[in-house]
């Protein structure tokens, strides 16, 4: 157990008393984190914040080692205890640093937009139905003879999703004011072999009074054109599949893909 002298004076706090007579010195010893004061000397009761201790002749009392920071007592040449960086200590340091960052990032000003209007819509949907009202999932065209009358199939297109109007158009659709024709069509077959053709009677369809279907968009009129809102559909459309003399006869059935497209505007 190591010892060093200290000087105690209850009336001269903070002064260096190393030059006082020897009877004013006590002998200090330390054990772990406890400090031991021992001397045959009488002192008044001293309050160290963590508890009070009275030293009397012939007695020795252990007090917390940290109390040597009290200004009435001056300790010299005491070994300093090294702080060991444990996991718990590291977590405490990190937590303190996080709090410091939050404090340094304090909000200075804000701005609130109190009104934000919107509506939820469904995904746009387009479905083909046959004349019986059943969705069309396949079409059996049968045999088509070279140069003979085409095979036909009738259907209608219906807006089955979302809240947007869908425009059904064709390359025959034009702006009636500028006479500019569309360059895209809602009818898009793919995979047809050479000499086989698919067409529809869209351009000849008429509404009430025998007039072609028209659409008005941004003050402009387009014809022929059909605008179908949610849940509504087109008039009945007739598809025709034919083969010219250049088509190659086959012993087995062939297949192609039929796609119908709708657009946001009458120009595609």
Check whether 221 has a pLDDT greater than 60.
yes
If you average pLDDT over every residue of the chain, what do you get?
Answer: 75
Cα–Cα distance, 188 to 244 (Å, whole number): 19
| Mean pLDDT value of segment 65-76 | 41
Residue 69 pLDDT grade (very low, low, confident, very high; cuts 50, 70, 90): very low
Render pLDDT for 197-219 as a digit per residue (tens, 0 to 9).
999 999 999 988 889 999 999 99
Residue 96 pLDDT grade (very low, low, confident, very high; cuts 50, 70, 90): low
Burial environment of residue 94 by CB neighbours within 10 A (0 to 12, 13 to 18, 19 or more)? exposed
| Mean pLDDT value of segment 66-94 | 50
| Mean pLDDT value of segment 6-10 | 41
How far from the centroid of its chain's Cα atoms is residue 245's Cα?
A: 59
User: How much of the chain, in percent, has pLDDT values that exceed 70?
Assistant: 61
Render pLDDT for 11-37 as a digit per residue (tens, 0 to 9).
444 444 444 444 443 444 444 444 444
What is the side-by-side order of every strand in the sheet holding 174-175?
Answer: 174-175, 220-223, 215-217
**Region of poorest pLDDT, from 72-81, 135-144, 159-168:** 72-81
Q: Which residues are bridge partners to 174 per DSSP?
A: 181, 223
Are the C-beta atoms of 156 and 253 separated by less than 8 Å?
Answer: no
Per domain, the residue ranges of the chain are 3-75, 125-137+145-246+254-260
pLDDT at 123: 80
- Residue 69 phi/psi, 5-degree rounding, is -75, -10
SS3 assignment for the chain = CCEEEEEECCCCCCCCCCCCCHHHEEEEEEECCEEEEECCCCCCCEECCCCEECCCCCCEEEEEHHHHHCCCEEECCCCCCCCCCCHHHHHHHHHHHHHHHHHHCCCCCCCCCCCCCCCCCCCCEEEEEECCCCECCCCCCCCCCECCCCEEEEEEEEEEECCCCEEECCCCCEECCCCCECCCCCEEEECCCCCEEEEECHHHCECHHHCECCEEECCEEEECCEEECCCCECCCEEEEEEECCCCCCCCCCCCCEEEECCECCCCC
pLDDT at 91: 63
Query: Which residues, at least 6 apart from 116, have a Cβ–Cβ distance to it below 8 Å?
Result: none
Cα–Cα distance, 164 to 123 (Å, whole number): 9
User: 144 versus 95: which is more confidently predicted?
Assistant: 144
pTM for this model (two decimals): 0.57
**How many CB atoms neighbour CB 109 within 10 A?**
4
User: 103 versus 133: which is more confidently predicted?
Assistant: 133
Among 55-69, 115-129, 253-267, which range has the highest average pLDDT?
253-267
| Mean pLDDT value of segment 217-242 | 96
User: 3 versus 133: which is more confidently predicted?
Assistant: 133
User: Which residue pairs from 66-70 have beta carbons closer than 8 angstroms and sit at least 24 positions apart in sequence?
Assistant: 66/33, 67/35, 68/6, 68/35, 70/46
pLDDT at 120: 78
Render pLDDT for 116-128 as a digit per residue (tens, 0 to 9).
988 777 788 999 9
């Amino acid at each position: 157990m190591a010892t060093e002298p200290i000087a105690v004076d209850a009336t001269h706090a903070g002064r260096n008393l190393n030059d006082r007579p020897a009877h004013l010195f006590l002998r200090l010893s330390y054990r772990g984190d406890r400090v031991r004061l021992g001397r045959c000397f009488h002192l008044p009761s001293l309050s160290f914040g963590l508890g009070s201790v009275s030293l009397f002749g012939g007695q020795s009392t252990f007090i917390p080692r940290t109390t040597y920071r009290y200004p009435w007592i001056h300790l010299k040449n005491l070994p300093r205890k090294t702080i060991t960086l444990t996991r718990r200590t590291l977590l405490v340091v990190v937590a303190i640093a996080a709090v410091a960052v939050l404090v340094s990032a304090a909000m200075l000003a804000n701005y609130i937009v109190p009104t934000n209007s919107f509506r939820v819509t469904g995904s746009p949907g387009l479905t083909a139905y046959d004349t019986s009202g059943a969705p069309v999932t396949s079409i059996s065209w049968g045999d088509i003879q070279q140069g003979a009358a085409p095979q036909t199939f009738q259907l209608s297109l219906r807006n089955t999703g979302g809240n947007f109007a869908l425009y059904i158009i064709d390359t025959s659709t034009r702006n009636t004011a500028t006479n500019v024709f569309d360059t895209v069509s809602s009818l898009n077959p793919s995979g047809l072999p050479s000499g086989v053709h698919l067409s529809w009677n869209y351009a000849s369809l008429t509404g009430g009074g025998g007039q072609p279907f028209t659409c008005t968009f941004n003050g402009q009129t387009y014809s022929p054109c059909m605008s179908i809102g949610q849940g509504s559909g087109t008039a009945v459309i007739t598809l025709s599949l034919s083969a010219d003399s250049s088509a190659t006869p086959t012993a087995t059935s062939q297949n192609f893909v039929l796609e119908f497209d709708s657009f946001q505007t009458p120009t595609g």
